Amino acid sequence: MIKALALPLLLLPTGAFAASAWVPTARVSLSAEVPLFDPDSARRAAPALAGLASLGGDWSAWSALEDPDRRTLGAAAAMAQALQTHGGDKLLNALADADELSTKKRRRLADELVAVRDAAAEQVRASLLERVQQIAREETDLRGRVNRLEAIRRETAALRMRRLYPDAALEQAEEGARREAARLREEWMATKLDDEARKLQGFIEREEALTLAKEPALLHLKLAKAVAADFAFFRAFPDLYYKLLSEEPDAAAARGTAVLRAVGDPHAENVEIIRSGDKRVPQANDFDDSARAPAGLDVSRMLAGAGALGDGSEEKARALVEEARRAYGLSLNQDFAQWRKSVKDEPAVSAAKPVDRAWKKRSGPAVENAALLALFAEKLGIEAKNWRLFDRRGAGGSSIGLRRYLLRSDRHDHVYEVKALRRSAMASFDGLSIAESPRERLDRAYADLRQEPVRSAAFAHDGSDWSGRRREAEEIRLDLRDPLSAARAMGGLLAQLHRASGVSLEELRRACEAASTPLVLRSLQAMLRMRHALIDLLNRDVWHLPPAWKAP
């Protein structure tokens, strides 16, 4: 077929092809490279060669063809020229060589593309590495600058100290400054709180003389608990309160009110809530300071206890005192059934939650004293063989330091608490005489001041009066999150206890008036000042107390 196509081409002037701009400028010998010669295009150009002969040498028509066609005809012309020069067989070899050259070219191009890609990747990697190294150099330089600045700062401080203390070491200067600060503090304490601190020191050494001499660690525990908060101090020293109250000029009016069976220490922590029928009722549960005493003094302590819930704020204390006073007056006009019905809706009562006393964990160290256990069991009316004895000297607040024991049995959830009695705190009010013994006071208090009875006993042992009472596994105290409600509950409860004493309502109202708000607030402020005096006394270590007592 190639030979047949070649015959008309032999008649064409080959120079015309060579002169055309679109004819490939390459040699077409068997050994020549023909980079633009595509064997497939040459084969496709065979029909075009036949058409070329029919043009009759009309080159204008040929040049008017579109570029792709012209390239195809150019390849055909080159193939025709090769046919004319080398003959048909050699043309086939040329085509084979050209095809092989084309495959090599494609491989070479692929290799070149891979090389370009690898070169580009290497360039990017090198650029990134250089950037990372640059950042590291900058960070190192910055760290060095920071270190130099810090060194300059230290050197500047050292130079300043050397200018201030050219003849002494820095340690000596600091020690001198500490000594001077301590001296100034001692001078301030000796002048600012001298009178109150000395007064409190004398009171504690007189009232706590036995504990200070024999159990100073227990006294330290009591004092540490007392200074923790204003209300804690108020609870810890009811005797100090009555002492300070008696020094107020208008306290004589409260002292001159009707005498009755006083609770002695009525405040929120000495109130528990019990069930009376289907209702909750607040009840007094601590009669250690109960005595036959003027009603006005009992009311003063209750009102001050309400004010102590104000966290040291005089404005809050005044509002709480007035709220408790109004509740006292309203409750005087109600019998116990009416008051019980009204008080159950007080938030301090209705929202109160039972508290697990966790007696097993809080019993204290065991006491192996069979004779003492048998004595206590006999007085309480229980069998000693079912009970164990524990030391509770560190429990409570005002009674810390007194001998105190707990009887606990694995067969029962309740326990019995036994403790030595002290004189009533109300006896600290100057000029007030308490004729009853501690044992007599307690017996009468449990009989007269509890609407709901509790198992209790008062007896003599080892030269002292003792009391024992049953305590349940769970106890409900007033909810103090609403202090105004708690103040109302306290005021109403004390009025009910006073109302049952047989004293006329008119005399009770007069006692409430005698415990005036200014009198109560001044006595409360005096207690708060004494707390700060005690803090300073402890800081000065005037008693050289050992570490506070802890149960073994």
Q: What is the mean pLDDT of residues 413-430?
A: 95
Give the range with max mean pLDDT: 24-38, 69-83, 137-151: 137-151
Q: Do residues 223 and 304 share a domain?
A: yes
Length in residues, the chain: 552
* Residue 483: per-residue pLDDT: 96
Long-range contacts (CB closer than 8 Å, 24 or more residues apart) made by 229-235: 230/308, 230/311, 230/312, 230/527, 230/528, 230/531, 231/308, 231/309, 232/397, 233/527, 233/528, 233/530, 233/531, 233/534, 234/267, 234/304, 234/305, 234/308, 234/524, 234/527, 235/267, 235/269, 235/397, 235/398
Residue 186 lies in a domain: no
Q: What is the mean pLDDT of residues 289-318?
A: 95
* Best CA proximity match to 401, nearest among 201, 216, 230, 206: 216
pLDDT of 289 > 80? The answer is yes
Give the range with max mean pLDDT: 125-129, 166-170, 444-448: 444-448
Residue 357 lies in a domain: yes
Q: Do residues 230 and 160 share a domain?
A: no
Cα–Cα distance measured from residue 217 to residue 544, given in angstroms and rounded to the nearest whole number: 10
Q: Do residues 145 and 205 share a domain?
A: no
- Chain centroid to CA 221: 27
Cα–Cα distance measured from residue 516 to residue 321, given in angstroms and rounded to the nearest whole number: 10
Handedness of CA 236, 439, 449, 295 (dihedral sign): negative
Q: Are 491 and 324 in contact (CB under 8 A)?
A: yes
Tell me phi and psi for residue 541, to 5 degrees: 55, 50
* Residue 396: per-residue pLDDT: 86
- Kind and range of the H or E element at 465? strand 464-471
* Residue 523: per-residue pLDDT: 96
**The two three-digit tokens of residue 260, written as one number:** 């009755």
* Residue 453: per-residue pLDDT: 79
Q: What is the mean pLDDT of residues 387-401?
A: 91
* Residue 116: per-residue pLDDT: 76
Residue 199 lies in a domain: yes
pLDDT of 421 > 80? The answer is yes
Q: Do residues 372 and 298 share a domain?
A: yes
Q: Do residues 150 and 232 share a domain?
A: no
Q: Do residues 482 and 388 share a domain?
A: yes
Q: Do residues 313 and 215 share a domain?
A: yes
Q: Do residues 451 and 505 share a domain?
A: yes
* Residue 144: per-residue pLDDT: 76
Residue 182 lies in a domain: no
Helices and strands, counts by H and E, the chain: 24, 11
* Best CA proximity match to 478, nearest among 264, 306, 232: 306
Domain range for 242 is 194-540
Give the DSSP per-residue string, 313-375: -HHHHHHHHHHHHHHHHHHHTS-HHHHHHHHTTSHHHHT--EEE--HHHHS-SB---HHHHHH
Q: What is the largest CA-CA distance in the chain?
A: 161
- Chain centroid to CA 370: 47
* Residue 206: per-residue pLDDT: 94
Confidence at 119, pLDDT banded by 50, 70, 90: confident
pLDDT of 391 > 90? The answer is yes
Helix 483-499, helix 314-332: angle, nearest 10: 40
Residue 172 lies in a domain: no
- Kind and range of the H or E element at 404? strand 404-408
Handedness of CA 125, 126, 131, 135 (dihedral sign): positive
Number of domains in the chain: 2
Cα–Cα distance measured from residue 233 to residue 227, given in angstroms and rounded to the nearest whole number: 6
Count CB-CB contacts under 10 A for residue 269: 17
Residue 416 pairs with which residues in a beta bridge?
407, 470
Q: Are 407 and 418 in contact (CB under 8 A)?
A: yes
Residue 364 lies in a domain: yes
Which is more confident, 63 or 277? Answer: 277
Confidence at 21, pLDDT banded by 50, 70, 90: very low
Helix 314-332, helix 517-540: angle, nearest 10: 130
Q: What is the mean pLDDT of residues 221-248?
A: 95
Q: Do residues 469 and 343 share a domain?
A: yes
pLDDT of 253 > 90? The answer is yes
Give the range with max mean pLDDT: 45-59, 72-86, 444-458: 444-458
Q: What is the mean pLDDT of residues 349-357?
A: 93
At residue 509's C-alpha, the angle toward residues 505 and 515, to 5°, is 145
User: Over the stretch 151-161, which tens digit does the pLDDT of each residue have?
Assistant: 777 777 766 66
Terminal CA-CA length for the chain: 122
Give the DSSP per-residue string, 226-282: HTT-HHHHHHH-HHHHHHHHHTSTTHHHHHTS-EEEE-SS-SGGGEEEEEETTEEEE
Cα–Cα distance measured from residue 413 to residue 540, given in angstroms and rounded to the nearest whole number: 45
* Residue 75 Cα distances to 95, 376, 432, angstroms: 12, 131, 140
Which is more confident, 41 or 256? Answer: 256
Cα–Cα distance measured from residue 507 to residue 259, given in angstroms and rounded to the nearest whole number: 10
Confidence at 410, pLDDT banded by 50, 70, 90: very high
Handedness of CA 366, 368, 372, 377 (dihedral sign): positive
Q: What is the mean pLDDT of residues 208-236?
A: 94
Q: Are 257 and 421 in contact (CB under 8 A)?
A: no
* Best CA proximity match to 69, nearest among 55, 84, 83: 55
Cα–Cα distance measured from residue 461 to residue 20, given in angstroms and rounded to the nearest whole number: 143
Count CB-CB contacts under 10 A for residue 430: 12
Q: Do residues 148 and 202 share a domain?
A: no
Q: Do residues 133 and 244 share a domain?
A: no
Q: Are 401 and 393 in contact (CB under 8 A)?
A: yes
Residue 176 lies in a domain: no
Q: Half-sphere exposure (CA, 13 Å, Cβ side) for 421?
A: 28
**The two three-digit tokens of residue 123, written as one number:** 């360039």
Q: Are 346 and 488 in contact (CB under 8 A)?
A: yes
* Residue 276: per-residue pLDDT: 72
pLDDT of 36 > 70? The answer is no
Q: What is the mean pLDDT of residues 519-531?
A: 95
Q: Do residues 213 and 140 share a domain?
A: no
Q: Are 449 and 261 in contact (CB under 8 A)?
A: yes
Q: What is the mean pLDDT of residues 475-492?
A: 96
Residue 181 lies in a domain: no
pLDDT of 1 > 80? The answer is no
**The two three-digit tokens of residue 492, written as one number:** 């109403």
* Residue 11: per-residue pLDDT: 36
* Best CA proximity match to 415, nearest among 362, 466, 460, 459: 362
Handedness of CA 324, 329, 331, 332 (dihedral sign): positive
